[in-house]
Amino acid sequence: MVKFLKPNKAVVLLHGRFAGHKATIVKNYDDGTRERPYGHCLVAGVAKYPSKVIRKDSAKKQAKKSRVKAFIKLVNYTHIMPTRYTLDVDLKDVVSPDALVSRDKKVTACKEVKAKFEERFKTGKNRWFFSKLRF
Amino acid sequence: MLSSILSVFDTPSFKKNYESISSRLALVMKSGKYTLGYKTVLKTIRSSKAKLILISNNCPPLRKSEIEYYSMLAKVSVHHFSGNNVDLGTACGKFHRVSCLGIIDQGDSDIIKNLPGDQ
């Protein structure tokens, strides 16, 4: 009886190209819109996870391995699995539905999300979110 | 050995619980709002409309865990019905199998207040 599909909730995508990838909810549309008459949400997730960094790695290699590729997507509620985790990164101003209108807007929005994700990954918090789900 | 296992179904406490759940469910079917089936149960949990979820005992374990996890997130109680999907369908008064059902509005029944506490 508690609403749990809220912004900042970490979810796992179940269908599509990003199946098994973790994402965080940016905006909910519980009652849908005219184009999507079902409950769906705007998510920002990890398209390519950062690889494992070992002590031997040079600074250049560490920087290369810690890169995160992000994606933005509108996804149906039935195609996500909510988790008990959250990711408190403020993506509201960066990610908006009009970022999905044209390709170059989407690319610039994804770049900003990537920067925020990388900054969060480097602090060492939210380790679960940036680790690949093996299945 | 088998008879000692099966005899649990003959004890007064088991029969009392089973009958009381079934009778309360019958009242919910008559006077309240409910949904039957996995897809609609998840939908009602997501929209925070469900107040109680019942799962049959032969529900596949992955599906059972999934419903329990969703209910944990939404803080909805789950009751594991002591009977399989055939029995749960009969308890709902339906002629089909019901593996999981969600109660949205209990109507005149007191199933939400009373039952999850008993178990």
DSSP notation for B6-21: HGGGGSHHHHHHHHHH
Work out how many CB contacts closer than 8 A connect A with B: 28
Q: Which pLDDT score, from 0 to 100, does residue B117 have?
A: 46
Nearest to A1 among B39, B43, B48 (CB): B48
Q: Which pLDDT score, from 0 to 100, does residue B40 have?
A: 96
Using an 8 Å Cβ cutoff, are A4 and A14 in contact? no
Does the pLDDT of residue A36 top 80, yes or no? Answer: yes
Q: CA dist A14 to A60, A62, A133, B76, Å? A: 34, 30, 12, 23
Percentage helix, strand, coil for chain A under 3-state DSSP, each rounded to 5: 25, 25, 45
Q: Is A83 exposed, middle or buried (0-12, 13-18, 19+ CB in 10 A)?
A: middle
- Cα(A120)–Cα(A11) distance, rounded to whole angstroms? 17
For chain B, how big is the Rg over CA atoms in Å?
A: 14
- Cα(B68)–Cα(A54) distance, rounded to whole angstroms? 38
Chain B positions touching A1 (Cβ under 8 A) are 48, 50-51, 74-76
> Alpha-carbon torsion A33, A35, A39, A41, what sign?
negative
Q: Is B39 close to A78, i.e. CB distance below 8 A?
A: yes
Q: Which residue carries 């789950």 as its tokens?
A: B78
Nearest-Cα distance to chain B for A102, in Å, is 31
Q: CA dist A81 to A22, A27, A85, A133, B60, Å? A: 9, 16, 11, 13, 18
Q: Is B70 close to A2, i.e. CB distance below 8 A?
A: no
Task: State the average pLDDT for chain A.
Answer: 93
Using an 8 Å Cβ cutoff, are B32 and B103 in contact? yes
Q: Which pLDDT score, from 0 to 100, does residue A97 have?
A: 86
pLDDT along chain B (119 residues), means of 10: 72 73 92 95 95 96 96 95 94 95 91 66
Q: Which pLDDT score, from 0 to 100, does residue A121 have?
A: 94
Q: Which pLDDT score, from 0 to 100, does residue B110 have?
A: 87
Q: Which pLDDT score, from 0 to 100, does residue A134 have?
A: 94
> pLDDT-based confidence at A20, cuts 50/70/90?
very high
CB atoms within 10 A of CB B87: 18
Give the chain A residue nearest B44 (alpha carbons): A1
Q: CA dist B65 to A44, B60, B86, B94, B98, Å? A: 26, 9, 20, 25, 17
Q: Is B70 close to A30, i.e. CB distance below 8 A?
A: no
Name the residue type at position B50.
A
pLDDT tens sequence across A103-122: 999 999 999 999 999 999 99
Task: Report the alpha-carbon angle A28-B70-B100, nearest 5.
Answer: 120
Q: CA dist A52 to A21, A29, A61, B86, Å? A: 17, 36, 11, 50
pTM: 0.88
Q: Which pLDDT score, from 0 to 100, does residue B2 have?
A: 77
If you ran DSSP here, which 8-state letter would residue B23 be given? H
Q: CA dist A40 to A29, A80, A123, Å? A: 5, 10, 31
Q: Which pLDDT score, from 0 to 100, does residue B18 have?
A: 72
Q: Which pLDDT score, from 0 to 100, does residue B111 have?
A: 85
Q: Which pLDDT score, from 0 to 100, does residue B119 have?
A: 43
Choose between A125 and B12: higher pLDDT: A125
